Structure 1
């Protein structure tokens, strides 16, 4: 594959995933779980995200290949764990793709949300098929517009004079389980830096560019989420936020600027499109890596000779996401996605643990590994059961798939 992406484009692709629809939809279910402990949950999610990012950056510098943690798990822990990571990523991020597509539909044309979602998937699959550089260009535009909308929300809310700092204080409704569940749901909005690692074969000077891009993208996303979450919570309170269908739009209305709510809706749709585009890139590259090793059908490993993109993997992923987007619910998809991605990063941290025997260097992957497992299993029970069942199917497929891997 062709190495076309520099640091700026790589950061933009990561931000396209993180500064996506997650900030527009994940705050409400997280507030329902944590109550006034929402910001504590956000801090916990951020801590685990930083650990995961540091582990991923170290591994990406060592193994600059497409596939991300699928490659790291395979090389450091063995093929079984590599397969488990890749499978968890694909199923988790397929749910994320569907959630992003449906977010576009709900904001653009609610009565026909599923049809709009399918159309969005088809259109963005065509963009990614045409080449990663065009995808990066479109993502740059979307990220700039979304950051502008988020800045507008913060300025409007804090400038209204109606915010109440007491709404940020912890109340008697806070408990550890609710905070951890909120952190797991909010992790859905942080996991975009995985897309940077999965583009390892398309980045120039990957040993230098990938760690730098992961760090920059994560810092920008953390600061953005913290400021937006504080503004919305101070405006609506944890109770109002928990029941909001469109939290940022509701915050703008509550601040006395209802005319700006449609602008927020447009920003949410653009954010979802940007996240969907970056997600499709990441899932197709992991599919490519697994197909090369015959953990998935080998024809999916084909790379277009002109565009330098994994065209068959992109089309296959686009078809699956379009089908899923026709039937799933957005909030359920968030929990399911978080479970799969947390397991994916658990393998990443376990892989990073093996890079050195130095206790200090092992602290970050240890915290990341424990945090990922804890957050995964404190998600809503339905998400845990569904996610665990699908991951177990993938593990079983690996143990019985010897004939496929041998090309029989």
Structure 2
């Protein structure tokens, strides 16, 4: 590709780390850490560390693939390039499902936060969630993209809200006796790690920006590791804060702010959660619609969905399909179900990522093979700890996706 056709390499290590933080700190910090505490109790920090290790392995495999095959579409394209058509399609299918579930989780969290804020009826949360998705879908249709400055503001607001939650929680006595009486199992620990892993997966945004990063082979791996370390420290502090509220039973409307007593600080944390998760929703609608676009271009989805607008700033059909999938999950699920479903599909998706990374020749590698081997083993290992109904639902959806793929392939041959 000629230099004048490439994006300017304007992002240094600090900018890449900031982008990673903006893509990660959101629903995971404000929602999933509570789910982790409910499962693992006092062991939650260990669950966070396990999730961080899995995220690091997968992030480095993603960085390796992005450097060798820098195209839009992520593991969907890597699967086609390095594995098989079926695995490539499965990766794309799972990405759409996983990130749609993550966006639905964020939208529901916004809905529950605002419904609690205004003391409205329970059904108002889903209405607000659907309306939030619609607003950001319309913004994406207009070609809106967040600038680095806007991203920095969102990150700072989210971190400020989380800091207030941690400081507020520290004012309470730690329920030592109740923590000692809780007896989490190893299954609880790994199930919590599987849910918490999803809270890290925004690092993929760093891996896919190789064309814009200065010295990508040097910067991208370091940015991923630094981002995971910073996020792990924050998640551990949040987990420590949540432990002050045990015994904890999360509900369909769980957000960190619901643990706090009513007052100005609770409202600030709720507002910070809304701001952070709105940024997550915008990112996810953009990301999922791009993969829908890539799949339509390959005719894995109807080719009409690959149509661009006149200014070539958006793919309206792909964006509306993305909105429809996310809206269905909002209407049929709650926070816990949507997040658990996202966990399973993301773990299988990154298993395919690691398989693709293992196919890269030794002379082109800058990440050791053992990293991808550990990434693959850890993803598959954590996937089996997802609750059974989510596991079976995910496997059924993978099977339906492969049947659709086979039907499309047969139709293309006739």
TM-score range, shorter chain: 0.7 to 0.9
Please, which moves more after superposition, 214-223 or 144-153?
A: 214-223
Shift of the 121–243 alpha-carbon distance from structure 1 to 2, 3 Å rule, reads: closer
Please, which moves more after superposition, 89-98 or 166-175?
A: 166-175
Distance 1:45 1:308 in 2: 36
Scaled by the length of structure 1, the TM-score of the pair is: 0.87
How far the C-alpha of 1:403 sits from its partner, in A, is 4.2
- Does 2:136 align with 1:127? no
Name the SS of the counterpart of 1:326 in structure 2.
helix
Contact 2:253 2:335 (C-alpha < 8 Å) held by counterparts: no
Please, which moves more after superposition, 134-143 or 216-225?
A: 134-143
How far the C-alpha of 1:42 sits from its partner, in A, is 1.3
Match of 2:394 among 384, 387, 391: 387
Correspondence 1:393-404 to 2 at 5 A: 393-403=400-410
Shift of the 132–183 alpha-carbon distance from structure 1 to 2, 3 Å rule, reads: same
- Does 2:248 align with 1:236? no
How far the C-alpha of 1:382 sits from its partner, in A, is 1.2
1:336-395 Cα offsets, whole Å, 9 max, x none, are 111111111001111111224599911111111011111112111111111111111112
How far the C-alpha of 1:331 sits from its partner, in A, is 0.8
Q: CA RMSD in A?
A: 3.1
Contact 1:13 1:136 (C-alpha < 8 Å) held by counterparts: yes
Correspondence 1:5-404 to 2 at 5 A: 6-7=10-11, 11-109=17-115, 111=121, 112-131=124-143, 133-134=145-146, 138-158=150-170, 160=171, 162-164=172-174, 166=176, 173-197=183-207, 203=212, 207=216, 211=221, 213-233=223-243, 235-237=244-246, 239-240=247-248, 246=254, 248-249=256-257, 252-253=260-261, 258-304=263-309, 306=311, 308-357=313-362, 361-403=368-410
Name the SS of the counterpart of 2:248 in structure 1.
helix
Misfit runs of 4+, over 6 Å: 167-172
Shift of the 289–244 alpha-carbon distance from structure 1 to 2, 3 Å rule, reads: closer
Distance 1:120 1:28 in 2: 23
5+ residue gaps, structure 1, are none
How far the C-alpha of 1:268 sits from its partner, in A, is 1.6
Distance 1:270 1:185 in 2: 22
Distance 1:318 1:5 in 2: 32
Contact 2:27 2:280 (C-alpha < 8 Å) held by counterparts: yes
Contact 1:198 1:286 (C-alpha < 8 Å) held by counterparts: no
Contact 1:72 1:82 (C-alpha < 8 Å) held by counterparts: yes
How far the C-alpha of 1:22 sits from its partner, in A, is 1.8
Name the SS of the counterpart of 1:240 in structure 2.
coil
Distance 1:305 1:200 in 2: 28
Q: How many aligned residue pairs are there?
A: 399
